[in-house]
Amino acid sequence: MNPIPFIARQNAKTMVADRLRAAEAARAASAARTERAASRWPEAVVVRLARPSDGRQLEELAQLDSGSVPAGTVLVAEVAGAIRAAISVESGASIGDPFSRTATLMDLLALRASQVRADLAHAAPAAAEVHRAARVATEGGIHHP
């Protein structure tokens, strides 16, 4: 009996078993990395316009940040139902929870505030034209743009 086919078969089985173990170890390491990353980030971040009912939370946040509540239209970043950061759309003044990681939240708020400013800038001329046309129509005049 020639031992070479037997040895080749055993080597192949060993190689397959080694590769299966390596693949399983890689899957476990990937799952661990994913779990660690998920534990660092909240489930959800909500960026929205502040409401009158947010006044108390904004005041508390401003006190924590040794600042004041931003004036004007305010966007907030909410994590797990709590406001962690806020920004004024008009001025860009912001406040954030100094005991939380808010740098990414501030970046999100700044981006959204710039989008809202751009939307308002594009909407303002169209709104002015509608108001002017309505005024001319109610005054009985003819409007030529």
Is it the case that residue 122 has pLDDT exceeding 60? yes
What 3-state class would DSSP assign to 33? Answer: helix
100: which DSSP letter? Answer: S
Asked if residue 145 belongs to a domain, the reply is no
In this structure, the answer to whether residues 16 and 65 fall within a common structural domain is: no
**Count of domains for the chain:** 2
Separation of alpha carbons 41 and 143, rounded Å: 56
Asked if residue 66 belongs to a domain, the reply is yes
Is it the case that residue 127 has pLDDT exceeding 80? no
Alpha carbon 139 to chain centroid distance? 48
Q: Looking at residue 101, what is its pLDDT?
A: 86
Separation of alpha carbons 70 and 138, rounded Å: 39
In this structure, the answer to whether residues 13 and 49 fall within a common structural domain is: no
In this structure, the answer to whether residues 70 and 95 fall within a common structural domain is: yes
Q: Quick one: pLDDT band at residue 144, thresholds 50, 70, 90?
A: very low
Q: Which domain holds residue 13?
A: 1-40
Q: Which amino acid is at 91?
A: S
What 3-state class would DSSP assign to 63? Answer: helix
pTM of the model: 0.59
In this structure, the answer to whether residues 29 and 62 fall within a common structural domain is: no
pLDDT tens per residue across span 50-98: 999 999 999 999 999 999 999 999 999 999 889 999 999 999 999 999 9
Which helix (H) or strand (E) segment holds residue 74: the answer is strand 74-79
Q: Looking at residue 90, what is its pLDDT?
A: 93
In this structure, the answer to whether residues 34 and 101 fall within a common structural domain is: no
In this structure, the answer to whether residues 1 and 55 fall within a common structural domain is: no
In this structure, the answer to whether residues 54 and 96 fall within a common structural domain is: yes
Q: Quick one: pLDDT band at residue 143, thresholds 50, 70, 90?
A: very low
In this structure, the answer to whether residues 50 and 25 fall within a common structural domain is: no
Mean pLDDT score across all residues of the chain: 84
Asked if residue 64 belongs to a domain, the reply is yes
Separation of alpha carbons 84 and 114, rounded Å: 19
- Pair 110, 70: CB distance under 8 Å: no
Q: Looking at residue 44, what is its pLDDT?
A: 87
Asked if residue 126 belongs to a domain, the reply is yes
- How many Cβ atoms are within 10 Å of 106's Cβ, its own excluded? 17
